[in-house]
Chain A
Amino acid sequence: AQRVTQPEKLLSVFKGAPVELKCNYSYSGSPELFWYVQYSRQRLQLLLRHISRESIKGFTADLNKGETSFHLKKPFAQEEDSAMYYCALSPNTDKLIFGTGTRLQVFP
Chain B
Amino acid sequence: DVKVTQSSRYLVKRTGEKVFLECVQDMDHENMFWYRQDPGLGLRLIYFSYDVKMKEKGDIPEGYSVSREKKERFSLILESASTNQTSMYLCASRPHRGSNTEAFFGQGTRLTVV
Instruction: List residues of chain A with CB under 8 Å of any chain B CB.
Output: 6, 9, 32, 34, 36, 43-46, 49-52, 86, 88, 90, 92-101
Contact = CB atoms under 8 A, between A and B. Distances in A.
Given A43-B106, A43-B107, A45-B105, A94 B96 contact: yes
A99 B103 contact: no
B31 interface: yes
A45 B58 CA distance: 21
Interface of B: 30-31, 33, 35, 40-45, 48, 50, 56, 58, 90, 92, 94, 96-97, 100, 102-103, 105-108
Nearest to A95: B48
A101 to B, nearest CB: 5
A105 B97 CA distance: 33
Contact of A94 (B58, B90, B97, B102): B97
Contacts of A92: 97
Given A44-B90, A98-B43, A100-B40, A90 B97 contact: yes
A6 B24 CA distance: 30
Q: 9 tightest CB-CB pairs across the interface, nearest first?
A: A100-B42, A98-B43, A51-B100, A44-B105, A101-B42, A46-B102, A94-B31, A43-B105, A94-B97
Given A50-B100, A98-B35, A98-B43, 13 more contacts: A9-B40, A43-B108, A52-B100, A86-B42, A88-B103, A90-B97, A93-B97, A94-B97, A95-B45, A95-B48, A99-B42, A100-B41, A101-B43
A95 B92 CA distance: 11
